[in-house]
Amino acid sequence: MEISIPVSLGIDLKVADRLNRLDEYATSSLPKGFRMASDGNELVEEAVGFGFPVLKRGLQTLFPGKVELMFEQHGSAWSVRTVFHLNLVEKIHQAGSGSIENDLVYATKNSLAAAIRHFPPIRGLLTFFSSGLRKTFGWKTAYEQTDFCAEITMIHRIQAGTGKVEVEMDTTDLPASVTEVIVMNEQGAHYFDQYLDSSGISLHGKKIGCWDLVTAQEASFISTSHRVTFRLNRVKGARLFRGRELVGSRLAWAGFGYSFPPSIKKFVYDLDIERLM
């Protein structure tokens, strides 16, 4: 089942309980959050969409492997309920030998990823090094089922035609081993190439960074080619991060992530989508 909701002039939000995509992105195997389309052109690329939950259990990161989709419509008012089953972990596959099960490899991978995110001056060099390792050894990212599973319910309340979306996230039933909750709101990096926030910061392309803390009250990503923007506010109790990564046919996402502790059982935020004239 797929739902498509017109949210602003020529802009639709789409969500489905399964997708059959033919691109090379590893995230194509994951269920997506809401994908944005502008005049019929989908803008999601490698990104996971709006309202996509991720869990941390210490160093382990859990991704959704399944989603259940329900909705109600009353006139122009929509309520879309998505139940994500988080039971996948990220693995490295090597051509001809399947998943790599080597703790040192994953420790190195995680250290590189952390350094790329936290040390801006050397991001380009580390990204080049990481891509070189992948090319040399034929490594590709894949997602595999693990023996852990948790459920998160997302409710999107959308007033069609207004660009206004209220998102409610229920984390009541998370296992005690969960240490961090993240909800991603992102679309494709080829399209969304500009960042702007209420403190006056304006960044373009690589200057946006790949995982930097937002300190302004309000922040936006803009597609200069499609004249579309999406905007979020900081929410009490959570940290808001911005990021954009565009690496060959492997990474192409731009957007935000809220990060908060599992002690917050209900997390609510607003997403604004607008056509720029």
Ranges of H-type helices in the chain: 103-118, 123-137
Which residue would you say has higher pLDDT here, 231 or 113?
231
- Section 197-226 average pLDDT: 96
CATH match for 2-275 among 3.90.930, 3.30.70, 1.20.1260, 2.70.98: 2.70.98
Q: Is the pLDDT of residue 95 over 80?
A: no
- Section 21-27 average pLDDT: 77
Who's near 40: CB < 8 A, 6+ residues apart?
Answer: none
Who's near 101: CB < 8 A, 6+ residues apart?
Answer: none
Q: Can you list the pairs that 199-208 forms with residues at least 24 positions away whose Cβ atoms lie under 8 Å?
A: 205/244, 206/124, 206/244, 208/242, 208/243, 208/244, 208/254
Q: What is the pLDDT of residue 137?
A: 57
Helix (H, G, I), strand (E, B) or coil at 120: helix
- Section 177-181 average pLDDT: 96
Lowest-confidence pick of 72-86, 112-126, 133-147, 230-244: 112-126
Structure tokens at 143: 């997602």
Over residues 96-112, the pLDDT tens digits come to 566 766 566 556 666 66
Structure tokens at 69: 């989709």
- Section 77-84 average pLDDT: 97
Q: Is the pLDDT of residue 142 over 90?
A: no
| 7 neighbors 19 (Cβ within 8 angstroms) | no
- Sequence ranges of the domains in the chain: 2-275
Structure tokens at 180: 């961090």
User: Taking the model in full, what pTM does it have?
Assistant: 0.89
- Section 195-214 average pLDDT: 95
Q: Is the pLDDT of residue 184 over 70?
A: yes
Who's near 263: CB < 8 A, 6+ residues apart?
Answer: none
Q: What is the pLDDT of residue 101?
A: 63
The average confidence (pLDDT) of the chain is: 88
**Of the candidates 202, 199, 195, 197, the residue with the CA atom closest to the CA atom of residue 244:** 195
Share of the chain above pLDDT 70, in %: 81
For residue 116, name the pLDDT band (cuts at 50, 70, 90): low
- Section 196-208 average pLDDT: 96
Helix (H, G, I), strand (E, B) or coil at 79: strand
Strands (E), the chain: 2-8, 11-16, 35-38, 41-42, 49-57, 60-74, 77-94, 98-99, 139-159, 164-170, 180-187, 192-197, 202-204, 212-213, 218-223, 228-233, 239-247, 251-260, 266-275
Q: Is the pLDDT of residue 131 over 70?
A: no
Which residue would you say has higher pLDDT here, 36 or 126?
36
Q: What is the pLDDT of residue 119?
A: 64
